[in-house]
Amino acid sequence: MAEANAGLGARAATLAILAAIMEEGQTMATVLANKNGALKGVGPQDRARAQRLALQVIRLLEPVDRLLEPHLRKAPPLAVMNILRLAVTELHDGSAAHGVVNAAVELARKGQKTTHMAGLINAVLRKIPAGAPLPGPAQMMPRWLRQPLVHAYGRDVVSAIETLQAKAPPLDITPRGDTLPEGTALPTGSIRLSEPGQVSALPGFATGDWWVQDAAAALAAPLLAAKAGEKILDLCAAPGGKTLQLAAAGAHVTALDISAPRMEKLRDNLTRTRLQAKLVVADALHWQPETLFDAVLLDAPCSATGTIRRHPELPFLKDGSELAELTALQSQLIDRALMFLKPGGRLVFCTCSLLPEEGEAQLSAALARHPGLTVQRPDLPGIDPAWITPEGGLRLRPDYWADIGGMDGFFMASLIRA
Ligand SMILES: C[S@@+](CC[C@H](N)C(=O)[O-])C[C@H]1O[C@@H](n2cnc3c(N)ncnc32)[C@H](O)[C@@H]1O
Range with the poorest average pLDDT among 12-16, 36-40, 207-211, 321-325 = 36-40
Average pLDDT over residues 299-328: 94
Residue 284 located in a structural domain: yes
The one-letter code for the residue type at 370 is H
Q: How many residues does the chain have?
A: 418
Residue 92 located in a structural domain: yes
- Which residues lie across from 295 on neighbouring strands? 232, 346
Nearest to 25 by CA among 314, 375, 397, 358: 314
* 408 and 302 part of one domain: yes
Q: Is the pLDDT of residue 80 over 50?
A: yes
Q: Please provide the DSSP assignment of 179-205 as one string.
A: ---S-EE-TTS-EEESS--SGGGSTTT
301 lines ligand 1 (CB under 6 A): yes
The residue whose C-alpha atom lies closest to atom 12 belonging to ligand 1 is: 236
Task: Note whether 155 and 139 are within 8 A (CB).
Answer: no
Residue 205 located in a structural domain: no
Return the best residue to mutate from 219, 253, 257 for the ligand 1 pocket (most ligand atoms within 8 A of CB): 257
Give the residue from 82, 102, 126 where a domain finishes: 126
Q: Please provide the DSSP assignment of 323-357 as one string.
A: HHHHHHHHHHHHHHHHHTEEEEEEEEEEES---GG
299 lines ligand 1 (CB under 6 A): yes
Mean pLDDT of the chain: 94
Give the residue from 111, 126, 141 where a domain finishes: 126
d(C-alpha 352, C-alpha 309), whole Å: 12
* 259 and 403 part of one domain: yes
Range with the poorest average pLDDT among 12-21, 208-217, 310-319, 395-404 = 310-319
Q: Just list the catalytic residues.
A: 352
Question: Considering the chain, what percentage of its residues have pLDDT values greater than 70?
Answer: 98
* 267 and 377 part of one domain: yes
| 289: Cα separation from own chain's centroid | 31
Range with the poorest average pLDDT among 50-64, 286-300, 327-341, 369-383 = 50-64
Ligand 1: nearest atom to the Cα of 259:
25
| pLDDT for 2 | 44
d(C-alpha 44, C-alpha 21), whole Å: 20
Return the best residue to mutate from 236, 353, 358 for the ligand 1 pocket (most ligand atoms within 8 A of CB): 236
CA 319 to ligand 1 center in whole angstroms: 21
Which of 1-15, 129-143, 310-324 is modeled with the greatest confidence?
310-324
**What is the rounded end-to-end Cα distance, in angstroms, of the chain?**
56
CA 274 to ligand 1 center in whole angstroms: 22
Average pLDDT over residues 98-111: 94
Residue 131 located in a structural domain: no
How many domains would you assign to the chain? 2
CA 299 to ligand 1 center in whole angstroms: 7
The residue whose C-alpha atom lies closest to atom 17 belonging to ligand 1 is: 258
Residue 200 located in a structural domain: no
Q: What pairing do the DSSP bridges indicate for beta strands 374-376 and 278-281?
A: unpaired
| Structure confidence at residue 3 as a pLDDT band (50, 70, 90) | very low
Nearest to 257 by CA among 211, 321, 300, 206: 300
Neighbours of 307 (CB within 10 A): 23
Range with the poorest average pLDDT among 14-28, 53-67, 137-151, 213-227 = 137-151
pLDDT per position as a tens digit, 129-168 = 777 788 876 677 888 999 999 999 999 999 999 999 988 8
| pLDDT for 403 | 95
Q: Is the pLDDT of residue 197 over 90?
A: no
Nearest to 56 by CA among 24, 17, 105: 17
CA 17 to ligand 1 center in whole angstroms: 26
Residue 115 located in a structural domain: yes
Average pLDDT over residues 266-289: 97
Ligand 1: nearest atom to the Cα of 220:
8
328 lines ligand 1 (CB under 6 A): no
CA angle in degrees (0–180, nearest 5) for 91-31-408: 70
Judged by DSSP in three states, 400 sits in: coil
| Structure confidence at residue 195 as a pLDDT band (50, 70, 90) | confident
Q: What is the CATH number of the domain that holds 22?
A: 1.10.940.10
Task: Note whether 345 and 295 are within 8 A (CB).
Answer: yes
Average pLDDT over residues 43-51: 91
Ligand 1: nearest atom to the Cα of 301:
10
* 233 and 113 part of one domain: no
Q: What is the CATH number of the domain that holds 321?
A: 3.40.50.150
242 lines ligand 1 (CB under 6 A): yes
Question: Considering the chain, what percentage of its residues have pLDDT values greater than 90?
Answer: 87
Give the residue from 77, 92, 126 where a domain finishes: 126
Give the residue ranges of the annotated binding site. Answer: 236-242, 257, 283, 299
CA 312 to ligand 1 center in whole angstroms: 20
Q: Is the pLDDT of residue 1 over 70?
A: no
Nearest to 161 by CA among 355, 391, 392: 355
d(C-alpha 210, C-alpha 179), whole Å: 8
> Which structural domain range is residue 330 located in?
211-416
Return all residues near 286 (Cβ < 8 A) that are at least 6 apart.
none
CA 267 to ligand 1 center in whole angstroms: 15
* 268 and 387 part of one domain: yes
ipTM: 0.99
Ligand 1: nearest atom to the Cα of 242:
8
Q: Is the pLDDT of residue 169 over 70?
A: yes
Residue 196 located in a structural domain: no
CA angle in degrees (0–180, nearest 5) for 170-304-357: 130
* 113 and 232 part of one domain: no
Nearest to 125 by CA among 101, 160, 157: 101
| pLDDT for 137 | 64
CA 122 to ligand 1 center in whole angstroms: 47
Residue 141 located in a structural domain: no
283 lines ligand 1 (CB under 6 A): yes
183 lines ligand 1 (CB under 6 A): no
Q: Is the pLDDT of residue 171 over 70?
A: yes
Neighbours of 17 (CB within 10 A): 27
Return the best residue to mutate from 174, 258, 325, 327 for the ligand 1 pocket (most ligand atoms within 8 A of CB): 258
258 lines ligand 1 (CB under 6 A): yes
